[in-house]
Amino acid sequence: MQGHLCSTDGWVLHRRPWRETSALVDVLTADFGRLGLVAKGARGQRSPWRGLVEPFVPLSLDYSQKGEMGTLRSLEPNGHRVALTGVSLWSGLYANELVLCLIDRDEPMDGLFAAYSILMSELGSVSHPGPALRVFEWRVLTLLGVAPSLVEQAHALGPIVATGHYRLESEAGFVASPTAGRDTVSGEAIGWLANPSQNAEAPDLAQQALRITRQLIDHQLAGRTLKTRSLLRQLQ
């Protein structure tokens, strides 16, 4: 028996073969969050979905769901494929893996689809994807409710100032340090993270911002590893 038919826009995050010609697909959708769908016959030679059930193609789709996995019923492109190569390609794969690891299925998260779509657009047009990735990472952390304040210190210790130095406590936020050190970041870098596009050509600030998002993401991963992170590091 077929479940209720739902329509939405989406991006394929990951797919793996299933049976002879089908695929099991993780999709980030505009209306229903991350879904697990069966794409029956999608890998067949005559399937109208060939070339669509893969990452970086904006899609419009219909699916039905009865039980844990839904079933893809119709699929068509909703724009042009995002052509990614080199660092931008690995950045896109990293973003996909990040969503797969941190976002549960069937839990709509307002703003995630828009943030991901913006990231895809930026990755397709910039040569240095770092700032766009930091924006996306911070958006994911914010939506998960684990992003600390970028303007106030933890434990009500006062505001964060550009000239200060701060340690990041993963579950609390930033705490002032009397001196700079290997475990501190500058207040200027924290401010950069609030709006990277305003000062994209600031490699030192970008590197500090990367340390911030990495620490927070690692805390959420709780020992799990991201394969694309090490590959992206090697490529860079």
pLDDT score, position 1: 43
Q: Residue 97 maps to which CATH number?
A: 1.20.1440.120
Q: What are 5's two structure tokens?
A: 């038919």
pLDDT score, position 231: 76
Shared domain check, 116 and 61: no
Q: What are 208's two structure tokens?
A: 């500090």
Is the CB of residue 143 less than 8 Å from the CB of residue 55?
no
Q: What are 135's two structure tokens?
A: 């924006």
Shared domain check, 113 and 169: yes
Which one of 77, 105, 121 terminates a domain? 77
Taking the model in full, what pTM does it have? Answer: 0.91
pLDDT digits (tens, 9 = 90+) for 121-136: 999 988 888 889 999 9
Q: Across the chain, where does the E strand assignment appear?
A: 5-18, 22-29, 33-39, 59-65, 70-77, 165-169, 173-177, 185-186
Shared domain check, 64 and 118: no
The span from the CA of 57 to the CA of 208, in Å, is 32
Residues 135-160, mean pLDDT to the nearest whole number: 96
Q: Domain range for residue 215? A: 86-235
Which one of 77, 95, 125 terminates a domain? 77
pLDDT digits (tens, 9 = 90+) for 96-122: 999 999 999 999 999 999 999 999 999
Q: At 63, which helix (H) or strand (E)?
A: strand 59-65
Look at the chain and report how many structural domains it folds into. 2
Shared domain check, 119 and 196: yes
